[in-house]
């Protein structure tokens, strides 16, 4: 029997995938290429919308393989949110929950939607404008998760640093994070996703000074070229991004830094891509989630010509993965 394992998500998923592979090999399975496997396991983390999007992106390929091999079994596992579970049910033979010890994370939404209209992104179209949950609701959930024994608590939003409690406008994300940190218990806190814009000194200080806040940060850059960033409607320049990383590293020297990046955005020239490689060499991200650009109907970028050839996107993706300490 042959298996193929696909991992989309965070470091925890990588570690879980190693365990899954070891247990399959113990049962006599041999690792194989996607097209030759009898069992495909997709291990994802719904914490990251990009991971969920990538699983959706697999559907066509998996259906084709299934039509060619009626014995093929396809399993989805990992930290799959309930809402995603429903959506994925029709594409997978089985959706398995990770045993608690492998997924000791509580996922707590603090907001839904987003007010930024990055030109490639469907989130504002699919989920609407930013709506924040009150700090009381969020903190109650954190307390409940801590009491239930979760060792890791994620505060989730499409754009967490735009958070503002509807119950008290003075409570921004930095303050919410500090309040969550002050809840008694043995747990760590992580959050996803922040935006390089509005990443305030106050937030950096709270991260540095709060003992429960993990020294981990995913700071999506999306491109290392300021002109492409402008086309993506990302409101920062390369200099501003690098200055921000410098400030964060100065205050939190042991920070584990990851990023999201898109290669092959419409019109991205080789030289513009080189600026992304320069950024990667300079920043030395611990992890990078590299996505090849694909047009999404309804987005502003959908009207632009998707003119970077698929092979070239693949080449750029490979280069960035090689420039990352722990490729995703
Ligand atoms: S900030 Fe994030 S969620 Fe909001 S539009 Fe941009 S990429 Fe999408």
Mean pLDDT of the chain: 89
Instruction: Say whether pLDDT at 312 is over 60.
Output: yes
234 in contact with ligand 1, CB cutoff 6 A: no
Return the best residue to mutate from 48, 51, 111, 114 for the ligand 1 pocket (most ligand atoms within 8 A of CB). Answer: 114
Domains, in order of start, for the chain? 2-97 (3.40.50.280), 104-214 (3.30.750.210), 215-328 (3.30.750.200)
206 in contact with ligand 1, CB cutoff 6 A: no
Q: What is the pLDDT of residue 227?
A: 97
Task: Give per-residue pLDDT as tens, 267-304.
Answer: 999 999 999 999 999 999 999 999 999 998 889 999 99
Give the confidence band of 317 by pLDDT, cuts at 50, 70, 90.
very high
Residue 224: CA count within 13 A, CB half-sphere: 23
Task: Give per-residue pLDDT as tens, 209-255.
Answer: 999 999 999 999 999 999 999 999 999 999 999 999 999 999 999 99
DSSP state of 294: -
Ligand 1 center from residue 113 Cα (angstroms): 9
Instruction: Say whether pLDDT at 113 is over 50.
Output: yes
For residue 287, give the 3-state DSSP assignment. Answer: strand
The percent of residues above 70 in pLDDT, for the chain, comes to 91
Q: Atom 3 in ligand 1: which residue has the minimum CA distance?
A: 158
Return the best residue to mutate from 52, 113, 116 for the ligand 1 pocket (most ligand atoms within 8 A of CB). Answer: 116
Q: What is the pLDDT of residue 14?
A: 64
For residue 307, give the 3-state DSSP assignment. Answer: coil
Give the confidence band of 57 by pLDDT, cuts at 50, 70, 90.
confident
123 in contact with ligand 1, CB cutoff 6 A: yes
133 in contact with ligand 1, CB cutoff 6 A: no
For residue 184, give the 3-state DSSP assignment. Answer: coil
DSSP 99-124: PGGG--EEEEE-EE--S---TT--HH
116 in contact with ligand 1, CB cutoff 6 A: yes
Instruction: Say whether pLDDT at 49 is over 60.
Output: no
Task: Give per-residue pLDDT as tens, 8-44.
Answer: 765 556 667 777 887 888 888 999 988 889 999 988 8
Q: What is the pLDDT of residue 324?
A: 87
Q: Strand (E) positions, the chain? A: 2-8, 30-31, 39-45, 73-79, 94-97, 105-109, 111-112, 131-132, 152-156, 188-192, 216-218, 256-263, 287-292
159 in contact with ligand 1, CB cutoff 6 A: yes
195 in contact with ligand 1, CB cutoff 6 A: yes
For residue 293, give the 3-state DSSP assignment. Answer: coil
Residue 157: CA count within 13 A, CB half-sphere: 27
Q: Residue 221's closest CA among 186, 181, 262, 251?
A: 262
262 in contact with ligand 1, CB cutoff 6 A: no
Instruction: Say whether pLDDT at 157 is over 80.
Output: yes
Higher per-residue confidence, 135 vs 112: 135
Ligand 1 center from residue 39 Cα (angstroms): 34
Ligand 1 center from residue 118 Cα (angstroms): 6
Instruction: Say whether pLDDT at 72 is over 70.
Output: yes
Number of Cβ within 10 Å of residue 158's Cβ equals 21
Task: Give per-residue pLDDT as tens, 173-203.
Answer: 999 999 999 999 999 999 998 999 989 999 9
Higher per-residue confidence, 234 vs 158: 234
Q: Atom 6 in ligand 1: which residue has the minimum CA distance?
A: 118
192 in contact with ligand 1, CB cutoff 6 A: no
Residue 309: CA count within 13 A, CB half-sphere: 4
Q: What is the pLDDT of residue 326?
A: 65
For residue 148, give the 3-state DSSP assignment. Answer: coil
Q: Atom 8 in ligand 1: which residue has the minimum CA distance?
A: 121
Q: Is residue 119 within 8 Å of 299, Cβ to Cβ?
A: yes
């Amino acid at each position: 029997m042959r298996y193929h394992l696909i991992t989309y998500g965070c470091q925890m998923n990588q570690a879980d995938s190693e365990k899954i592979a070891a247990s399959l090999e113990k049962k006599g399975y041999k690792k194989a290429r996607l097209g030759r496997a009898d069992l495909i396991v997709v291990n994802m983390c719904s914490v990251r919308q990009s991971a969920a999007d990538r699983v959706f992106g697999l559907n066509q390929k998996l259906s084709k393989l299934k039509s060619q091999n009626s014995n093929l079994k396809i399993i989805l596992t990992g930290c799959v949110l309930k809402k995603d579970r429903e959506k994925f049910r029709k594409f997978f033979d089985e959706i398995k929950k990770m045993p608690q010890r492998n997924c000791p994370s509580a996922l707590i939404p603090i907001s839904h939607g987003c007010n930024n209209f990055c030109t490639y992104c469907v989130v504002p179209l699919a989920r609407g404008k930013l709506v924040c949950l009150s700090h009381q609701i969020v903190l109650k959930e954190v307390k409940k998760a801590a009491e239930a024994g979760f060792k890791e608590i994620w505060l989730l939003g499409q754009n967490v640093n735009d958070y503002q409690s509807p119950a008290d406008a003075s409570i921004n994300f930095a303050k919410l994070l500090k309040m969550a940190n002050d809840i008694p218990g043995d747990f760590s806190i992580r959050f996803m996703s922040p935006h390089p814009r509005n990443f305030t000194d106050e937030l950096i200080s709270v991260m540095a000074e709060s003992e429960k806040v993990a020294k981990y940060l995913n700071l999506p850059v999306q491109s290392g070229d300021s002109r492409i960033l402008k086309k993506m409607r990302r409101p920062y320049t390369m200099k501003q991004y690098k200055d921000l990383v410098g400030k964060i590293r100065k205050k939190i020297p042991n920070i584990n830094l990851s990023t999201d990046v898109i290669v092959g955005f419409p019109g991205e020239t080789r030289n513009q891509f080189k600026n992304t490689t320069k950024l990667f060499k300079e920043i030395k991200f611990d992890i990078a989630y590299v996505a090849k650009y694909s047009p999404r109907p309804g987005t502003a970028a959908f009207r632009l010509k998707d003119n970077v050839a698929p092979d070239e996107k693949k080449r750029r993706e490979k280069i960035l993965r090689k420039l990352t300490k722990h490729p995703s």
